[in-house]
Chains A and B, each alone.
Chain A
């Protein structure tokens, strides 16, 4: 039983690390948003594992997962709108070209 919880936690840790790698190293702005979705899904997997194995009576982890899904939907909508606006301004979606705030 404990091994199974550890397997779920390791799985979500691997997903989180893949998401961070994509977040830092990708140059396409839409791929950065996809990586953020991967990060949020890793956190959700963590919450669900804890909810099932440590707190099966009152499933509060699932409640938190539903809230995280809600915030992820809002984040995706606003993030893609920002990418569209910046694409109209700069005519590119290369993350290396978004250096307006460079000092």
Chain B
């Protein structure tokens, strides 16, 4: 990292403030679409922090995978379950939220004291000893992390097939029998639920 120390600290503080406020917005805002877009902001802030931590490849992968894939997937899911429903009010719900906030603050206090009292053994070698992190990561992937690397590809395949199987529409047979939709080679055997209902 060639940036000066002052630039690094200032950008780190700005990124941290944006990160925490965006994360609070994700959790606390009532509109789910705003939450989804703020989640993208959280991912971008974390990618900037990765750049400050001398990890250029992982920062690029963070933007590609999280902002480009996961956030868009979440937006599509919000669009597919597009139903503005008013949740039924539950009595004494503030007790649940308050106790949850209390437990989370306690957890943060516990983690914070642990972080502050542990004597970390900071390595004395400069982080700039690796000039190309991509080459170093590739060497790790194909030597001592080869088995997890291959297992990750199998995991992605399993997840892809499982997501397709879970999210596919159910097969609804044509009850009416009349087929105004002429079946070509491109016609799917599945019908949306509303179509079969309106045909009856």
Contact = CB atoms under 8 A, between A and B. Distances in A.
Describe A's contact surface by its main secondary structure.
helix
Contact of A83 (B77, B90, B126): B77
Given A59-B136, A69-B65, A34 B74 contact: yes
Contacts of A74: 155-156, 158-159
Describe B's contact surface by its main secondary structure.
helix
23 contacts: A5-B122, A11-B49, A15-B20, A17-B105, A17-B111, A30-B36, A54-B121, A56-B126, A58-B140, A60-B140, A62-B58, A62-B133, A63-B137, A63-B141, A65-B58, A66-B58, A74-B158, A76-B73, A80-B77, A81-B162, A81-B163, A84-B167, A94-B85
Interface of B: 12, 16, 19-20, 23-24, 26-27, 32, 35-36, 39, 42-43, 46, 49-50, 53-55, 57-58, 61-62, 65-66, 69-70, 73-74, 76-78, 80-81, 83, 85, 87-88, 90, 96-97, 100-101, 104-105, 107-108, 111-112, 115-116, 120-123, 125-127, 129-130, 133, 136-137, 140-141, 145, 148, 152, 155-156, 158-160, 162-164, 166-167, 170
